[in-house]
Structure 1
């Protein structure tokens, strides 16, 4: 059945509706996750894997000597005793760091929540209020010893007047403890901007005396992801009506003389404006620290654990570190001792010191290299997801599997390249797992659908039409199965007959096996040419071949394709004859007849055997034209209707003939392989005009010249004989110059 020139929406929907529906469902599910409407854990897992891989690929793997970590390590515990140490020793440490080592800033990645009773001062005070209450000498001695034995106060005195930042934490417990610093700003500073800061109901702070003396403090709450890893830390958070700063941010503020912090929002009128962040006002100008919608920054890991110089506190107190090793540095006190439980899981290590997380943040803020997830990340990811997804849903199915695979690979490569670029050059982290999964899932859907659904249609058409039409037409037909059937129909088509001249004599000279091999090679070669020009193989009839164009796949240029196939068969025969000659076999000569016209095409036959074939008057004429090739000694003859529908082909008109079984005459033509014989054709057509005008002498003169130049062409000899026969014959006034042929 002829394919419709334009596929209706109903046909398209019937063929691809299920695939579209499944694709849109995949797209909607992943878009909902990208917009945070719900959570798909496997997508989060892939996002985390991709992010961790990028961190490991692009971390500098260098040591930042501007920051030093004083480690409560196994060596310190062995020399100084178990933790916590008394506050007198901590006071000694603080004094040594500022007075002797001349550090710039000191940060404690710990909280001092409970009073230090290790000096025994509380017991002595109880005696002074009890059994020794009336002993004046005891009370006087206690008054002199108390300042020395008040370790908390000694620690507070050491903290006072120095750029020290204590640590504390927020929680969602019912009761708060200790003291925390004043907030950085009021929560109203963020106004109506769409920030969703983490907020808390309680805190665990330091002893009030210590907090008052130090003045500065920062929380050390990280964001623990679903897999237990620390990838980002909120630099600001909300508690009641105040905004508080993280330990790393407060260390930076202390380094720049308690620099003021204000929220900074994107300015749509200024393309150079930051997206969102914290503006830190320093003596050197405003330093912008980008944050995401939660006020958090991604930890800019420099490398594996040990990216900062470590010093054992035992060595510091015992003067065992090099002179000036800590001078002018930011010093963070933390622990790597396993028993003190300050180990984190991070993208760069499953066991990573918590203090080094803060050290990386301080380093990143000093370098201006803080990565963050921009507020528009979800929108950008969703837009990319929708555009790529819709393209794959509605465009990919129209491509071959190879092209769809290539396009998918290029799309995946573009996504990965863009993701790497924004991560490495812009310091943005935009989740890409939803987009990558959408591309992969839609590719698998299209390939699976094509294999299980369309492949079934292809197998059906291959079984139905595969023996007649080339594979590319079977492929085309399988895309629109509803447009094709083998039911008989009337259509204008072009048919070709090809026969081997003198086959009977050839068969008598060869053994049966050799003849079979020769015919297999001949039929195979000619069939390949027919199929290469979109022809449908009808049948083999001994040494004859029958093919047609325009069915089952509609072909508006069926006449031109048929003529091109005939010329291709002529060229292929030259190469085939070289092969046959090399084997000692006879060469072959063929005659081809082509005609165009209305005919019936379909599956015809009996219950015993059927074939997809054509029949009708136009088919019979083509068979007669093939027979005329022997009369004119020309290998290809086409009918007048074929010539009219192939205007870009150069033809030689041969004659007007009346073939057996048909009263109406037709003009017949020979197609030319090139226009190199244009002069010859001009003389020939002039001679033919003189012949039809009964100008025998003029026609004879031209034919003599042509015969002398081209003695191999029997056509000129044929017409010279005709003129000789017609000279002196009184022709009727209505002589139509038509040659009648009564044989097939």
Structure 2
């Protein structure tokens, strides 16, 4: 391929690569987002039960239908929460999280005081903060709160006992990531409910904290893979409780059962979450691991275990992802430009499969999700472009060859050779054809009187007349023979009326030659005429010559020889035809017999006729 074509391919590949990079880096929340995340979800679902073993220390005290029937409709008295906290503390719970928003003061101040006293007594109890955001932020990615529902000031003023319970869903509505911290009105960060509870049981050196200088969230000294919204991906160790047996989920206890328990429960060192476990309380979200929604309290439980085990799957950084797209694109550009057809298809499929395997390995071995849709989009579009480009180049080359070849032989020959899809081979076949031999009478004397450049110009004008007449009536220009022409009709495309077409072409040549002659007489004082011979009959038509070097598409045989002999006997301006041609066209033209003439190669004289013109 030429330098120009290579540069065109490189430019197109770079454009497609940049387009993929744009979708990945700038418009990552667009169409491909809804393809990338589900593919990651499939991998997360594929994890075995052994890999999803829930943490025994995490317990859920559920506000379920049973509790609502026994205690009454929501909201409950604050003393109820005070009592449940006391029960859990007496059972040895290490951390207690109440996932019920208590933003308004109770109508009965005594209730608030009872709960406030318990909260003051135990510093391992976390109350929820609900951050409300406007439907649309001023700028994409902003987290500017519209309103924050803190626990009522009648309950506690200890910020260490407050944590947000916000679950931010992705654009497809699924909860995959939880914000480990969210800014308040003063841009001070409120830790997540799960972070606050996990920190109560983690060693001091392992606690989750935010580095204010860098904005990074760390678990101990390890930087957590958070995104621009301070979210970290939640690893799900359980399915929603509606679909999980008791042996495979977090241990759950009914709120009312804990409240009515007479003896301490086996909760020593446990992290206990208290929250809604009924659909009517509208605290449930779709997750990537199940079509069934998961209660918010379960999501917090899974996030706590994610933090405890420091088990995060990570998305590759943007620079790494961009580098992958660029490398894969460049490799695709080079390979698809070098290989075509079936080889290119196999390379494309191979690259597609190999990249999928690399993607799988990076997740299973390193818990890292490298981008999959965006690089493969680049791969697919570059492959499609290569197919289109190769097709266009082949069409261009075909047209170029057709144009060049068509200047030497009839376009019909070119089309037949190209459409056959076969290599040009030696050999021919017997066909019924008509042949014309044309010679310029008086050319030699004229060439002696004119300059060489003028001779060539005149010759080209006469040969151009011949060529146009031949092609006009679907003939095949076989060859130029000095100042003469050989043409055939009926090959390679067969026509039943090829004798008629040959005669009409000859009449066209004669009429146009008369016009040229007048111009020459006016210009140089001398004119020339055509002598034409036409014969029809069987001849061997095909390719002769050297198979490796040069082939000529021509006709051979006695029919050809007789046509040439007729031309040599034709007088200036005369069209002679054989009796074989005459028999087929006698009713179509004005024809007069010339008589029998002796021609070289024939023992007996042959009958010859002259075509005068159209009827």
TM-score by length of 2: 0.60
Distance of aligned partners of 1:609 and 1:238 in 2 relative to their CA distance in 1, 3 Å threshold: same
Asked if 1 retains the 8 angstrom alpha-carbon contact of 2:428 and 2:543, the reply is no
Distance of aligned partners of 1:288 and 1:325 in 2 relative to their CA distance in 1, 3 Å threshold: farther
Out of 314, 331, 334, which is 1:391 matched to? 331
Q: In the TM superposition, what is the alpha-carbon distance from 1:228 to its structure 2 partner?
A: 0.9
Counterpart mapping for 1:582-597 below 5 A = none
Counterpart mapping for 1:554-569 below 5 A = none
Give secondary structure in 2 for the equivalent of 1:334. strand
Give secondary structure in 1 for the equivalent of 2:349. helix
Give the Cα–Cα distance (whole angstroms) in 2 for the partners of residues 480 and 299 of structure 1.
61
Determine whether 1:169 maps to 2:89: no
Asked if 2 retains the 8 angstrom alpha-carbon contact of 1:298 and 1:372, the reply is yes
Counterpart mapping for 1:106-505 below 5 A = 106-117=96-107, 119=108, 150-162=110-122, 163-172=124-133, 198-212=143-157, 215-239=160-184, 240-256=186-202, 261-263=208-210, 278-281=217-220, 286=221, 289-306=224-241, 307-319=249-261, 324-350=265-291, 351-374=293-316, 377-447=317-387, 453=392, 485=405
Counterpart of 1:54?
A: 43
Asked if 2 retains the 8 angstrom alpha-carbon contact of 1:159 and 1:214, the reply is no
Counterpart of 1:524?
A: none
Determine whether 1:35 maps to 2:25: yes
Asked if 2 retains the 8 angstrom alpha-carbon contact of 1:292 and 1:372, the reply is no
Distance of aligned partners of 1:480 and 1:418 in 2 relative to their CA distance in 1, 3 Å threshold: farther
Give the Cα–Cα distance (whole angstroms) in 2 for the partners of residues 40 and 289 of structure 1.
22
Give the Cα–Cα distance (whole angstroms) in 2 for the partners of residues 243 and 63 of structure 1.
29
Counterpart of 1:606?
A: 488
Counterpart of 2:94?
A: 104
Counterpart of 2:425?
A: 537
Distance of aligned partners of 1:66 and 1:403 in 2 relative to their CA distance in 1, 3 Å threshold: farther
Asked if 1 retains the 8 angstrom alpha-carbon contact of 2:41 and 2:289, the reply is yes
Deviations 1:255-278 (A, max 9, x none): 2377765446999xxxxxxxx953
Q: In the TM superposition, what is the alpha-carbon distance from 1:396 to its structure 2 partner?
A: 0.9
Give the Cα–Cα distance (whole angstroms) in 1 for the partners of residues 279 and 355 of structure 2.
41
Counterpart of 1:81?
A: 72
Distance of aligned partners of 1:380 and 1:450 in 2 relative to their CA distance in 1, 3 Å threshold: same
Give the Cα–Cα distance (whole angstroms) in 1 for the partners of residues 323 and 374 of structure 2.
11
Give the Cα–Cα distance (whole angstroms) in 2 for the partners of residues 114 and 619 of structure 1.
98
Asked if 2 retains the 8 angstrom alpha-carbon contact of 1:344 and 1:352, the reply is yes
Distance of aligned partners of 1:431 and 1:619 in 2 relative to their CA distance in 1, 3 Å threshold: closer
TM-score by length of 1: 0.50
Give secondary structure in 1 for the equivalent of 2:127. strand
Q: In the TM superposition, what is the alpha-carbon distance from 1:319 to its structure 2 partner?
A: 2.0
Asked if 2 retains the 8 angstrom alpha-carbon contact of 1:262 and 1:280, the reply is yes
Give secondary structure in 1 for the equivalent of 2:218. strand
Distance of aligned partners of 1:173 and 1:441 in 2 relative to their CA distance in 1, 3 Å threshold: closer
Give secondary structure in 2 for the equivalent of 1:90. helix
Q: In the TM superposition, what is the alpha-carbon distance from 1:113 to its structure 2 partner?
A: 0.5
Counterpart of 1:470?
A: none
Give the Cα–Cα distance (whole angstroms) in 2 for the partners of residues 199 and 238 of structure 1.
8
Give secondary structure in 1 for the equivalent of 2:370. coil
Give the Cα–Cα distance (whole angstroms) in 2 for the partners of residues 212 and 421 of structure 1.
49
Distance of aligned partners of 1:619 and 1:256 in 2 relative to their CA distance in 1, 3 Å threshold: closer
Give the Cα–Cα distance (whole angstroms) in 2 for the partners of residues 408 and 253 of structure 1.
49
Q: In the TM superposition, what is the alpha-carbon distance from 1:422 to its structure 2 partner?
A: 2.5
Asked if 2 retains the 8 angstrom alpha-carbon contact of 1:75 and 1:312, the reply is yes
Distance of aligned partners of 1:213 and 1:293 in 2 relative to their CA distance in 1, 3 Å threshold: closer
Distance of aligned partners of 1:151 and 1:313 in 2 relative to their CA distance in 1, 3 Å threshold: same
Give the Cα–Cα distance (whole angstroms) in 1 for the partners of residues 163 and 93 of structure 2.
19
Give the Cα–Cα distance (whole angstroms) in 2 for the partners of residues 455 and 202 of structure 1.
65
Counterpart mapping for 1:665-744 below 5 A = none
Give the Cα–Cα distance (whole angstroms) in 2 for the partners of residues 11 and 366 of structure 1.
58
Alignment size in residue pairs: 423
Gaps of 5+ in 2: 136-140, 242-248, 410-421, 431-485, 493-540, 551-615
Q: In the TM superposition, what is the alpha-carbon distance from 1:415 to its structure 2 partner?
A: 2.1
